[in-house]
A and B are shown apart, each in its own frame.
Chain A
Amino acid sequence: MLDTTEPTETLLEVNNIEVIYNHVILVLKGVSLSVPKGGITALLGGNGAGKTTTLKAISNLLHSERGEVTKGSISYRNAPVADLNPSALVKKGVIQVMEGRHCFEHLTIEENLMTGAYTRGAGRGEIAKDLEMVYEYFPRLRERRKSQAGYTSGGEQQMCAIGRALMSRPETVLLDEPSMGLAPQLVEEIFGIVKDLNEREGVSFLLAEQNTNVALRFAHYGYILESGRVVMDGPADELRENPDVKEFYLGMSDDGRKSFRDVRSYRRRKRWLS
C-alpha cells in the first residue's frame, strides 16, 4: 500500500488546463491535479463538474468531440502528452475506461476483450492467460463470452469495458464512473479489483466517481471538482472527515445517515447552472 507520507514519483501531471467545446462552451476553467505512481486518485464532483472532460483531456479523446485544451499542459512521466494520439498513449500504459460503457456492440464479449490487447505485441498464449485473468475477476463475463455485447445487460457491459482495459496491461487506468449502474455487490467487487490491481501489480488509477462514499474508501487522495474548478483536495481520509464533504457528498448529517424520505426541502445550489 502506498505510503502517503513518503514522496513518490508523479506519473501524471495536469497543469491548469482549460477546455472549450465547440469553440464556445468553456467547461474546464483551470484544473490542476497529479497522479502519483502506484496511487489511487479520485476525482469527485457533481454532474457536469467536468470529470469526464478532464479524463478525456488526458487521454486525448477530446478531439473527436469537438473539444480542445486551450490552456495549460498535461504531462505523463514528465513528457507532454498533448501531441500523442490516443493509441500512442495506450502504448505508454495509459488507458481510459469510458463513461457509459462503450462496448463494441456487434463484437462478442470475448472479441471485445481481445481488442483491449490490440496495442500489445503479445503472443496468443499470453493473451489467453490475460483473458483467463479477466474471467477470473468477472465470472459473469465468461458465461456471456459468446454473445454480442449489444445484447448484454448494463452491468455486464460495464464489466466488459473494465475487463477490456485490463487486457492492455496498463500502468495507469483512467476510470470514468465504474460504479454506475452496478449492483452494490458488484461495486464492492470492482473496487476490490481496483485495489487488488493497485496493490499487487502497482497499477495507478485516476477515477472519476459520483459514488463518493465508496470512492473515498478506496482512494488515497481525492480532488473535488465543481463547475470546472478544483475546489478542494486532500488525502482521502481527511476529505472524509471534512464537514462539507460529509454533508454534500456523503449524505451524512451530524446524526448519521439521513433518510432519503426526510429530505423535505429542495436545495437551491444549482452549481451546474452557474
Chain B
Amino acid sequence: MFYREAGEFKTTYAKDQQTFPIALDRWGYFITLALAFLAVPFFINDYWANAVVLPFLIYVIAALGLNILTGYCGQVSLGTGGFMAVGAYASYKLMTAFPDLNIVFVILLSGGITALVGMLFGLPSLRIKGFYLAVATLAAQFFLVWLFNKVPWFYNYSASGQISAPERTLFGQAVTGANAVPAISYLFCLVFVVVLAWAARNLTRGANGRKWMAIRDMDIAAEIIGVNPLKTKLTAFGVSSFYIGVSGALLFAVYLGAAEVGEAFGINKSFLVLFMIIIGGLGSIFGSFAGAAFMVLMPVLLKNIMVGQFGFPTDIAAHFEFVIVGGLIVVFLIVEPHGLAMLWRIAKEKLRLWPFPH
C-alpha cells in the first residue's frame, strides 16, 4: 500500500474541506509548486518557453474558464475563441491607450471586460439549453471575430488589422514585446495560473460551485431548491469569461506578441479549449491542467517523434498527427469518458486497494 487514505482523520470540518485532504497529495502539490517557481525558471529556454510552457500555462487558464462554464455549470460553449479575442483586443487597446498602466492591471481589466461581454452573450442561456446553446454561442464567436475585424478602432486603424503588443515591464523586467526573457514571461504567466487556479478551486468547492453543479445536473430541480437559474448561469458566464479573457490577453500580449483575430481566435480555438476540458475531465480543476498539457504537448511530441526520429516527410507527419490526435480523443473517451482526471482518480483507488483488490 503505497498510497493511503486510511489512518487520516479529520477533526474539524474545515480540515475535511481542504483541497488535498491526503497528506501525500498535499506534499506532491507543494513540491510541484516549488519546482515550478524555483527550479524551472533556471532551465527554461526560448524553445521550451514558446513552444510548450507558455501556451500550456495560458491554455490552462482558458481551460479553467471553460471548465467553470461547461464542466461545472453545464453550459456548453463554443464561443471561447471569440471571448479570448475580447481579452486580447481589450488588452491591446488598454496598452496603447494608457501606456503607463501596469501590465497586471491591463490583463485583469481585459478579463473584466470579457466578463461583461460574456455575461451579455450568456443571457439567452436562460431559455436555450444543451446543444442549442452550444450552437448559439457560435453566434458570439462569429460576431466578435467579425467585429474586431471590421471596426478599425479596435486595431488602431493599422493598415493590415494586425495588432502587436508593445513592450511592457514589471519590476523593470520586460514581460511583453520582443525583449521579454522567457523565464520572466514564464513566471508572469505562472503567477496568474496559480492564483486563478486557486480561486477557481475555491469558487467551485463552495456555495457557488454547488449552485453551478446543481444547474448542470438538473436545472429544474435546482430552481425548485432555490437556485436562481439566471443569476447562477450569468455568474458562470461572467467568471468563465473573465478567465478566458485573461488567457486571451496573455496569449496575445505575452505569447504571440501579434495577432490577427480570424486566425488566432477562430473557431478552432474554441474547439481546442473544449477538447482540453473534455480530455482532461469536465468539472475538474486538475483536469484543466491535464487536458491543456495533453493538447499542447501531444502535437509537439508527435511531430518530434515522427519527423525528428523517423524522418517522415512533414506533410505525411502532419496528416498522421490529425489521424492520431483524432484517434486518441476517441480512444480516451471510450476508455474513460470523464477524462484524465477520472483516470487518475481510478488509478489512485486501485493503488489504494493494491495489492488486495476488493
Instruction: Indicate if A touches B (C-beta under 8 A).
Output: yes
Among B230-238, B244-252, B264-272, B346-354, the stretch that binds chain A is B346-354
A61 CB, nearest partner CB in chain B, Å = 18
Q: Mark A179-205, 1 if CB is under 8 A from B, else 0.
A: 000000000000000000000000000
Q: 8 Å CB contacts to A: which residues of B336-354?
A: 346, 349-350, 353
Nearest CB of A to B296, in Å: 29
Q: Which residues of A contact B353 (CB under 8 A)?
A: 24
Neighbouring B residues of A24 by C-beta, 8 Å: 346, 349-350, 353
Asked whether A22 is an interface residue with its Cβ less than 8 Å from the other chain, the reply is yes
Distance in Å from the Cβ of A234 to the closest Cβ of chain B?
29
Q: List 7 A-B contacts (CB under 8 A).
A: A22-B346, A23-B346, A23-B350, A24-B346, A24-B350, A24-B353, A26-B358
- By Cβ-Cβ distance, the 8 closest A-B pairs, closest first, are A26-B358, A24-B349, A24-B346, A24-B350, A23-B346, A24-B353, A22-B346, A23-B350
Chain B: residues with Cβ within 8 Å of the partner, total of: 5
Residues in A whose Cβ lies below 8 Å from that of B358 = 26
Residues of A within 8 A of B349 (CB): 24
CB distance from A80 to the nearest CB of B (A): 25
Q: Which residue of B lies closest to A24 (CB)?
A: B349
Q: How far is the CA of A24 from the CA of B358 in the complex (A)?
A: 7
Which one of A22, A23, A24, A26 has the greatest number of beta carbons of chain B within 10 Å? A24
Total number of A-B contacts with CB less than 8 angstroms? 8
Interface 1/0 per residue, A10-24 and B, CB below 8 Å: 000000000000111
Query: Would you list which residues of chain B between 275 and 304 have a CB under 8 Å from chain A?
Result: none
6 further A-B pairs in the complex, CB-CB below 8 A; given A22-B346, A24-B350: A23-B346, A23-B350, A24-B346, A24-B349, A24-B353, A26-B358
- The 8 A CB mask of A64-96 against B (1 = contact, 0 = none) is 000000000000000000000000000000000
CB distance from A29 to the nearest CB of B (A): 9
- Give the Cβ gap from A93 to chain B, nearest Cβ, in Å: 32
Number of interface residues of A (CB under 8 A): 4
Complex CA distance for A210 and B353, rounded to whole angstroms: 33
- Which residues in A have their C-beta under 8 angstroms from that of B350? 23-24
Bound complex: CA A26 to CA B353 (Å):
13
Residues of B within 8 A of A23 (CB): 346, 350
| Cα of A179 to Cα of B358 in the assembled complex, Å | 34
A26 to B, closest residue via Cβ: B358
Report how far A26 CA is from B358 CA in the complex, Å.
Answer: 7
The chain A residue sitting closest to B337, CB to CB, is A66
Docked Cα-Cα span, A22 to B358, in Å, equals 13
Instruction: Give the CA-CA distance A127 to B353 in the complex, in Å.
Output: 53
Tell me the nearest residue of chain B to A18, going by C-beta.
B358
> Hey, what's the 0/1 contact readout for B163-186 against A, CB within 8 Å counting as 1?
000000000000000000000000
CA distance A139 to B353 in the complex (A): 54
Question: What's the least CB distance linking A148 to chain B, in Å?
Answer: 17
For B352, the closest partner residue in chain A by CB is A24
CA distance A23 to B347 in the complex (A): 11
B residues near A26, Cβ cutoff 8 Å: 358
Q: Mark A91-119, 1 if CB is under 8 A from B, else 0.
A: 00000000000000000000000000000
A271 CB to nearest chain B CB (Å): 18
CA–CA, A18 and B234, complex, Å:
47
B115-151 interface with A by 8 A CB criterion: none
Nearest chain B CB to A105 CB, angstrom units: 14
Cβ < 8 Å to A, chain B residues 301-358: 346, 349-350, 353, 358
Minimum C-beta distance from B323 to chain A (A)? 27
B341 to chain A, nearest CB (A): 15
C-alpha gap A24/B349 in the complex (Å): 8
**Interchain CA distance A24-B353 in the complex, whole Å:** 9
Nearest-Cβ distance from residue A16 to partner chain B, whole angstroms: 16
Question: Chain B residues near A22 (CB, 8 Å)?
Answer: 346
Please report the C-alpha to C-alpha distance between residue A22 and residue B346 in the assembled complex, in whole angstroms. Answer: 9
* Cβ < 8 Å to B, chain A residues 1-53: 22-24, 26
A233 to B358, CA, bound (A): 26
A23 to B353, CA, bound (A): 12
Complex Cα–Cα for A124 and B283 (A) = 49
Chain A residues, Cβ within 8 Å of B346 = 22-24
Report the nearest B residue to A23, measured CB to CB: B346
Q: How far is the CA of A22 from the CA of B336 in the complex (A)?
A: 10
A78 to B288, CA, bound (A): 51
CB proximity of A65 to chain B, nearest CB, Å: 12
Q: Which residue of A lies closest to B353 (CB)?
A: A24
With CB as the reference atom, state the residue of chain B lying closest to A20: B358
Give B300 Cβ to nearest chain A Cβ, in Å. 32
Shortest Cβ distance from residue A171 to the other chain B in the assembled complex, whole angstroms: 35
Complexed CA–CA distance, A22 and B357 (Å) = 13
- Tell me the smallest distance from the CB of B25 to a CB of chain A, in Å: 19
Within the complex, the shortest CB–CB distance from B351 to chain A, in Å, comes to 11
Chain B, 15-43, contact with A by CB distance < 8 Å: what is the 0/1 string? Answer: 00000000000000000000000000000
